[in-house]
Structures are given as C-alpha cells and as structure tokens.
Structure 1
Amino acid sequence: MAVASSADRRRGPLRARTTAAFTGLTAGFVVALSLLMPATAGHADPKPSVKQLEKELAELGKESDKLIEDYYHGRREQQKAEKAEKAAREKLEAAQQVYDRESTQLRAMAVSEYIGGRPSHLTLIADSGQYTSTMSRMALSEFLVSQQEARLSGFARVRDEHERAQREAADRAKELDATADDIDERRKKAEKLIEKIKDKIDQLHKAPGRRSDGTFLPQLPGGSDNITPRMRLVKTLIEKRFDVPFGIGCYRAIQDGGQHPLGRACDFMLSRGGMMPTAAEIERGHEISEWAIKNARRLGIMYVIYRQRIWHVSTGGWRVMTDRGGTTANHYDHPHISVY
C-alpha cells in the first residue's frame, strides 16, 4: 500500500475544504442552468406566465447569491494561502542565510584542521555536503572535539530547518496555484449565471404600444421627466442593468429636430463637462449600445448613436456620422438611444 508523503498530508485539509465548497457550487449551478434549458422537441411546455418567470428569476437570484458567496469564500482562502506562502518564503530566506553562514564556518574549521595536520571526517563533510555522526577524534584535543560536535549539531539543525522550509514553500505555492484556479473558475460561473439572470429580466418586458405587425403606436410624453412610456422602460432597464454614475439626460425643450423634445430619446453620460471618458467608461458605453441593439425590436428602440456612429434598426450595422465639432456633439462621452 502506498504511503502518503508529508506534502500530501499537508495539502489534504485544503483539498478537502476546496472539494466540499465546489460540490455545493456545482450542484447549485446545475440547478440554476436547468431552469434556463429549453424543453425538448415534442414536449414543449406552455408559454410561461410573467408570474412563473418571476419565480424562476427569484430562484436564479438565490443561486447567483450562493455562487458569489462561494466566490468570496474562495478569495479569502486565496488570501490565506498567499499569506502562508509569503511567510514560508521569508522563513526559507532566513534559513538560507543561516545555512550559508554555518557552511562557511564549518568549512573554515575543516581547512584549519587540515592545515594543522589533523585530518578528520569534518573535512569530508565540508567538501561533500554530507553529514555523519562519527568522527575520528584520536588526533584532536578534548576542547576541539566538543567544539566540533556542537558546531556539527547546530549545522544539522540548520540543514533540517532549511529543507523543511523548502518543502513548506513548495507546498504553499502549489496550494496557492490550485486556489487561484478554483476562484477563477468560480468567478466565470457566477458571471455566466448573472448574465443569464439579466437576460431573463429583459425578456419579461415588452415595449408598450406595439402592434401585432411589429410596428409601434405613437406615444405622448408624460410624468415629471416628460418622456414616453416606451422611453421610460428603456431608461429604467438600463439603470438597473448598468451603472450610469454621470447621469441620464432625456427631455430637452430646444427644438433641434431630434427626439429629445418629443420625450423619445435619452443620453447616458460617461463623463462630466464634455471631458473624454476613461477607457472603462468607454467600454461601458459600448456595453449599453450593444444591449440596446440586442433588445431593439422588442423594446421599440429606433436608433443608437455612439462615438460619431449611428445604428438604425431598419438598416442594421453602424455607419459613420459627420463631424459635429466636439466630444459631446459627436457622442464620444455618451450613447444616445431613441425609441419609436
């Protein structure tokens, strides 16, 4: 029967904890995905009601929360492993310094004995790096013998500590790598499920005033924000799905020939004061634009403008717009969304 090494015994507890955590994670993820899988051909269920979809969303939300909780638990485990690995590395460095110092002193003693004509096993120890408990003491004084034995004993302890520190550092590094891989996989699963939840939420909503042929009835603006119900739905969904910290501008009284005075357009700002957005905010603008295009026909979105380009639902694809002379005028600091 194979005997487990000391390294395997040290890794055992961490591996057991990781396995237990991932067993629960995998089970939860399978349940969540089963809610999203379509029925097989020939056994299609009736179209779910809004109440059923809301129930599914609630279950998915619980699974998502569990995945996130497991993810942060993994992060804490990683931080512990990083701390232990750092301590082991520092311990190894300290042991190496002592090891080098003791080796130098031991070699000096061996050389001194050799020059003095008193060869012993100490000379062989210094040259080969091997250790022995037997020495030829016949030609040495009692004082030198005791001095050598004390030095050899100390050197052996340093050597053993040095080897233990090396093994511990290697074990911690392996644990750290395994934990990091587990966390990355957990994060990807959580993000995938969260995205499915968000898509499911979007599917619950249809643009008001849609005719059976896919066209849309005209709507009047209303409410304190002076926008149409269709525009308000799009604005609300984007606010829930994306963080828009620099504000959303919709109704404008100025008659410029656009959709703002009609309450059918909103600007989702990525910066303030006409400043060029950061790289992260530019990416957020792309995400908002892509979401609008993906949901355009269902939500009654007519066109999207972003970064001096326009996408129209009737033609599809982006086309470049003429230069209007500024960051905001060219929509570099915000996506513009107009609805029917």
Structure 2
Amino acid sequence: MAARFPRRCTALLALIVAAVAMILAVPGSPAFADPDDEGGSKKLRTALETAAKGYDQAKTKLASSKKRQKQLAATLKKTEADASVMTKQVNELANRSYQMGRISTVTLLLNSSSPDGFMARVQSVDMLAQIDSAMLADYREEVETSKRAKVALDAEIKEQKKQVTLMSRKKREAELALAEVGGGSAGGFVDVNSPAAKAAPRNSDGSWPKESCTVNDPTSTGCITPRMLHAYDESRDDGFKRYTVCYSSRASGEHPKGRACDFSSNSSTFKNAAATGGDKAFGDRLAAYFVKNASELGVMYVIWYRQIWMPSTGWRAYSASGGPAAVHTNHVHLSML
C-alpha cells in the first residue's frame, strides 16, 4: 500500500494539471481576461502619443489665440470709435484756442468788478484748463490703446498661423506612423445618437491638467488618472457597462501609466475571438461614443476592430498583427491625454 500511494498521488496530480490546461485553453476563460498588448510596436505607440499631444497643444493654443483676437478686435473697435469722437472735440478745442486765444490772468483782473467776480473767473479758467487737459490725455490714451491693440492683433494672427502649421505637421507625423500598419482611410464608427458626456476639468487656458496615476482603478487593484476615471464613469453612466480592465503592469503603453482602458465587447470577459452580432454592435457604439465626446473627455486615441481614431486624422486602418486582442476585435481600447 505504501508503494501505491505515491503512484496514485502522481496520477491525481497529472489529472489536475490536465484539467487546468483544458480550462486555460477554453476561449472566453479568465486566461484571456487581459489583452497581452495594445497592438503595434512601442515605437508606433510613442510616435502616436507624441503626435496626438502635440496636435492637442497646438489646437488649444489656436483656440486661445482666436479668443484673444476676438477680445482685441472688440477693444480696437471701441477705442477707434472713442478716438474718432474725441478727435472732433480736440479739433474744436484747437480751433477755439487759435481763433480766440486763451483768457489771460490780466484780462480776468481787468474784467472783474469785485473780488468775488475775480475768484469766479479764476475758477472758470482753471476748470476749462482741467477739462482741456483731461480731454487731451484721454485722447492720447485712446490712440495709444488702439495702436497696442493693432500690434497685438498682428501678433495673434502670426501665432495662429504658427499653430495651424504645427497642427498640420503633427497630423502628418501621425499619418506617417500609421502608414507602417496600413493606416489608410477607413469608414470608422459614428453614431449621431451617442449620448453627450460631461466635460472633464480643464485649465483656465483650455489645456488639460497634467495628471498621473493617483486614483484607484475600479477595474483592478492598480491606479488610473482622474481624467481616465472620469471617462470610465461617464461611459458607464451612459450605459456602457460591460467587462473592462484599465490598469495593468506592462513594459510600455498607456495601461501602466493609468491612462488607458480596454472595454470588452463581451459582458463578462475578453473572448479570444473577434466580436460578432450584439457584441460587435456594442463595440461599434462604444467606439463612436468616445469619438463624439473626445474633446469633452480628453481622448488621445480610440482603437476598435482594426481601426484607430485620432483627433488629427479621424478613423484610419490599424492592421496590427496578432490575435483578437492585438488587432482589437474583441475590445475597444481607449487612451487618454
């Protein structure tokens, strides 16, 4: 009996190992819970991140410049109108001084019949001098304000041209990077009926605050950025509640930085197969939702079903090689700025 027991244990252990192997081999099991990578190479992801952030920064600066231009244009219009009115008054003052001359102190003394009359004349002349002086000062200030506004407007126009050029360059960089993975034009995923998400907080100049992995990830034991959490919460509030994993420890990409989530098209796990039917329709709607609300949420890019969307390029083909996880046919990948 003593000799048989080890053999029985060995046989039992072999059965357990075989059973575990069978479980791990079943598509849709927890073995496929986390996509093994974000698709594409580290070089590609770095290029896309650089291009996307550069484009967003230029776009934000362009918007700020246009806002300042509008304010300056209003200031210029007002100061020019005020200066025009005051120009007429200043001309009248100059003509009066030329034709009649200024009332001198001697004239006042000669024409004053009493000390009280004399003081009244002095006060009158002093008041006229103050009015004339204030009028001329206001006039000069309006003219100088107009000049400054014109110079500032010219500077804003130059700034806008600079940012438009930079946006075009960053768009080109993204397109060149995507060309390596077949990034031609694609039909994309659009849904005009997508819900509107609440906007995430921005800085006073319209830029996105710098964030790090500081809040608990509700989908794992890791962390994510506040902006990533906001996008996740908004999507769930709008009905997209299927299986999701955000933070994961990887060698590269946005997930270990807490700036990405993988939203499964399946309700309970990541299937090791391309989504079809209702799962595919769910992924289509979710991808369209993030695209529609990209500006409000701070989306860097969305990947779904061999296509990638970026603010600078729109939908492009994204033919990374590998299984459903790598080509994103079983989950929607969301990366945040």
Instruction: Give the structure, 1 or 2, with the largest relative contact order (CA under 8 Å, sep 6 or more).
Output: 2
Q: The TM-score by the shorter chain falls in which range?
A: 0.3 to 0.5
Relative to the length of structure 1, the TM-score reads: 0.38
Relative to the length of structure 2, the TM-score reads: 0.38
